Amino acid sequence: MNLETFYEYSLSKKGVTEHFPFDEDTLVFKIGGKVFALSSLQKWEMGTPGVNLKCDPDRAEELRASYDDIIPGFHMNKKHWNTVAINKDVPDKLIKELIGHSYDLVFKSLPKKVQLEIENL
């Protein structure tokens, strides 16, 4: 997966916005003002890309046991976030699925009013 594919796929989800709230390096995707994915642009340029994604805690443990390149979220709550190395042993199809899973988890945590506003976009 390249940066353009990651960027376009993440941004294609309904109601998603992109931000750089921490610095000029960390690209953050949000839904309803809440983060669901973040990634270092420098890491993409260096050839070692990864993305932090929210994940159901049970599934997070399962994924970490199955893939060497899925680890507890770097600088995140280790129970609810994974860091997924891109272009390693995790297939692109699974990465896209995990981006969708993260989006869905965050979307479902939003107030019903905000969910309806996003659904009506």
Cβ 99 vs Cβ 113: under 8 Å: no
Token duo for residue 22: 């921490």
18-28 pLDDT, tens per residue? 999 999 999 99
Region 75-95: mean pLDDT is 96
Among candidate residues 92, 107, 102, 109, the one with its CA nearest the CA of residue 4? 92
**Residue 1 DSSP symbol:** -
Q: Is the pTM here over 0.85, yes or no?
A: yes
Region 11-18: mean pLDDT is 97
Over 90: is that where the pLDDT of 121 sits?
no
30-81 pLDDT, tens per residue? 999 999 999 999 999 999 999 999 999 999 999 999 999 999 998 999 999 9
Residue 93, SS3?
Answer: helix
> Biggest alpha carbon distance in the chain?
41
- Cβ contacts of residue 41 below 8 Å, gap of 6+? 3, 25, 26, 27
CB 49: neighbour CB atoms within 10 A?
21
